[in-house]
Amino acid sequence: MEMKIGVIKGDGIGPEIVDEALKVLNKVAEVYGHSLSYTQLLMGGASIDEYGVPLTDETLKLAKESDAVLMGSIGGDAKTSPWYQLEPSKRPEAGLLALRKGLNLFANLRPAVLYEELKGACPLKEEIADRGFDMMIMRELTGGLYFGARSTEMIDGVLTAKDELTYNENEIRRIAVRAFDIAMKRRKKVTSVDKANVLDSSRLWRKIVEETAADYPEVELEHMLVDNCAMQLVKDPAQFDVVLTENMFGDILSDEASMVTGSIGMLASASLNETKFGLYEPSGGSAPDIAGKGIANPIATILSAAMMLRYSFDLDREADAIEKAVADVLRDGYRTIDIMSEGKRQIGTREMGDRICSYIM
């Protein structure tokens, strides 16, 4: 298969971790006989430095022309980086939001898995960690508070800020359908998270999710209020299979879920639209404090590349091979510093990439 991949290395540790993912993709292409071509794209801080804006029209166009985009991470230290002296609409994060919107990436998949080998990293009590967990957070990504009208103005002499939260039924239905489709391939349970005891947008959310559920009689649906969900994630994460939620709640809950795994450097993500196109990126940030030191964990980006093969190219066998290689490397005791524990062997970013490649045959 021929694959045209846009590559956004990004800021901070982005370039280092993406290089390892590309190494792994090249190995897969060699072993399984595929042809890959890469187009380097600038977004975030790197684009500000080059063009003065975090995303140019040209970059968006090139991204659209790719089959999929693999991304590192963007942004810098908000206290020290000059990017954060710019007005909010010109900062690195604005580029990411414009890219999500411009590519219509409404479905964000964030798996949070407790790896058997890394159970020790889980900050929860042993009896909870022992049960393990494997959930998929499905976050709506192009609506809600993130993309509503906002303003800050003086009203009757009082400085007042406003952010609008809007969802229409179509926006809810399309992400709900995705969540149920994915649940059908997993343990057939959807937990839809909202704040229906307060918000109108959540009451509509619940209604549309229930209508959608009628088409999936095999899938168990439950509704959960977002505050309760925040508690349940630390009390009993094993109860969750697919967690379906709106943009802002999903932002918060997915960070919580990743923390509970104890190893954010391991978590991949995919952002999808109606077509096969997707943007794939690690869940973690750009970690400017360790950039360039060769110690960042590239596994989340490597697993994001595996998600890309699975969701954009239907190459399940190849995706399985990458996931298995990651599991093998962990089994054999190799760790980057963020997941290091006693008796294991600590290695750097590049060696982790090389070792994972060596298990793909």
Q: Which residues are annotated as a binding site for Mg(2+)?
A: 227, 251, 255
Question: What whole-number distance in Å separates Cα of residue 117 and Cα of residue 348?
Answer: 18
Instruction: Identify which of residues 171 and 251 has a Cβ nearer to ligand IPM in the complex.
Output: 251
163 is catalytic: no
Cβ atoms of residues 47 and 55 within 8 Å: yes
Residues that bind Mg ion (rule: CB under 5 A) add up to a total of: 1
Q: Which residues are annotated as a binding site for NAD(+)?
A: 285-297
Question: What whole-number distance in Å separates Cα of residue 175 and Cα of residue 244?
Answer: 8
Residues that bind ligand IPM (rule: CB under 6 A) add up to a total of: 3
Q: Give the number of residues written for the chain.
A: 361
Smallest separation (angstroms) from Mg ion to the CB of 250: 9
Cβ atoms of residues 139 and 110 within 8 Å: yes
Smallest separation (angstroms) from ligand IPM to the CB of 324: 27
Which of 19, 255, 328, 354 is flagged as catalytic? 255
Is residue 96 involved in binding ligand IPM (CB under 6 A)?
yes
Question: What whole-number distance in Å separates Cα of residue 33 and Cα of residue 217?
Answer: 40
Binding mask 212-251 for Mg ion (x = CB under 5 A): ---------------------------------------x
Phi, psi of 334 (to 5 degrees): -85, 135
**Six-digit token pair at 3?**
């694959």
Alpha helices in 221-314 (DSSP H): 226-235, 247-261, 299-311
Helix axes 14-32, 349-358, angle to 10 degrees: 10
Smallest separation (angstroms) from ligand IPM to the CB of 70: 15
Which of 216, 251, 334, 338 is flagged as catalytic? 251
Question: What whole-number distance in Å separates Cα of residue 158 and Cα of residue 244?
Answer: 38
Binding mask 237-266 for ligand IPM (x = CB under 6 A): --------------x---------------
130 is catalytic: no
Instruction: Identify which of residues 184 and 252 has a Cβ nearer to ligand IPM in the complex.
Output: 252
CA dihedral 139, 141, 144, 145 (to 10 degrees): 100
Q: Which residues are annotated as a binding site for substrate?
A: 100, 110, 139, 227
Which of 57, 215, 227, 236 is flagged as catalytic? 227
255 is catalytic: yes
Smallest separation (angstroms) from ligand IPM to the CB of 108: 8
Question: What whole-number distance in Å separates Cα of residue 67 and Cα of residue 276?
Answer: 8
- The contacts of residue 329 (CB under 8 Å, 6+ apart) are 352, 355, 356, 359
**Six-digit token pair at 77?**
């230290």
Instruction: Identify which of residues 287 and 352 has a Cβ nearer to ligand IPM in the complex.
Output: 287
Q: Which does 93 bind (CB under 5 to 8 A by kind): ligand IPM, Mg ion, none?
A: ligand IPM
- The binder of ligand IPM chosen from 39, 84, 90, 93 (CB under 6 A): 93
Question: What whole-number distance in Å separates Cα of residue 13 and Cα of residue 44?
Answer: 13
Q: Which residues are annotated as a binding site?
A: 100, 110, 139, 227, 251, 255, 285-297
Smallest separation (angstroms) from ligand IPM to the CB of 300: 13
Write down the number of H helices and E strands in the chain.
Answer: 12, 14
Smallest separation (angstroms) from Mg ion to the CB of 136: 16
Going from the C-alpha of 268 to that of each of 15, 52, 137, 160, 305, the distances in angstroms are 16, 29, 11, 38, 8
Contact set for Mg ion, span 247-286 (CB under 5 A): 251
Q: Catalytic amino acids?
A: 146, 195, 227, 251, 255
Interacting residue ranges for Mg ion, rule: CB under 5 A: 251
Interacting residue ranges for ligand IPM, rule: CB under 6 A: 93, 96, 251
